[in-house]
Amino acid sequence: MSGLTGRVPVLSNPQRVVLLPVDPSRPCGARMKGLGLLHLLEHAEATYGATAMQGWADALPTPLQGFAKVRGLTSVGWLPMEFYFSADSRAAVELGHAMATRGIGAFFRAAMSFATPPTVVSLASRFWRTFFDAGDLVIGKKSAASVDAELRDWPLVSEVVLYELAGSFVAWLEASKAKDVRVSRFLVGGPSMLSLTLEWS
């Protein structure tokens, strides 16, 4: 287990909510901005080579295969959310982290480097619907070294999706003044809710 995946615990599911696989042929109805898929394709090509995503693209239903090519995408277009997620559960932490890191960009990274971790989390909550048209990121208890958060009304409750989101939350806090960012509580709080606690030093 790598250093990054070691900072995200095994997902807890005390209510035994049924976790479904991600299936682009059966979309949940929610959408995300094309920017996320662009970052996925760019990361895969840079890390694994130009043909890394070909098997995934070929497996898509024919009407959807055009979305698997960068030239067919725009960063501001809305796409079925299922396109954003494609990895095994634990590797998804690193994939979510990598895509969020790409998404932050140099300008926002410079600004966020002066912000406290709770400020960054609060901003993520405010701008959630800029990237997804479903779910609400609600911030709970905050302290100097931790924050509780809940992602409510989230329609795609899949293990791989939740691990990717955890990796992206770690990346956002790492862009602030936070050091040694980790997830200490990571659980499915209900049929459409992810609950987690992020800590740092």
pLDDT, tens digit (0-9, with 9 covering 90-100), for 106-151: 556 777 777 888 888 888 888 788 889 999 999 999 998 999 999 9
Indicate which CATH number applies to the domain containing 32: 3.90.1520.10
Distances (CA, A) of 95 to 14, 117, 179, 199: 26, 22, 20, 20
> What pLDDT, on a 0 to 100 scale, did the predictor assign at position 1?
45
66: pLDDT strictly greater than 60: yes
The domain tally of the chain equals 1
Query: Which of 165, 168, 176, 136 has its CA nearest to residue 152?
Result: 136
With bands split at pLDDT 50, 70 and 90, how would you rate the model's confidence at 184? very high
Q: Which structural domain, as residue segments, surrounds residue 80?
A: 5-12+28-199
Report yes or no on 19 lying in a domain.
Answer: no
The edge-to-edge listing of strands for the beta sheet with 146-152 is: 136-142, 146-152, 193-199, 182-190
Asked if the structure places residue 20 within a domain, the reply is no
Tokens 């995503």 -> residue: 53
Average pLDDT, the chain: 84
- d(CA 196, CA 200) in angstroms, rounded, equals 13
The better pLDDT of the pair 191, 39 is held by: 191
Q: pLDDT value at position 165?
A: 93
Residue 143 lies in a domain: yes
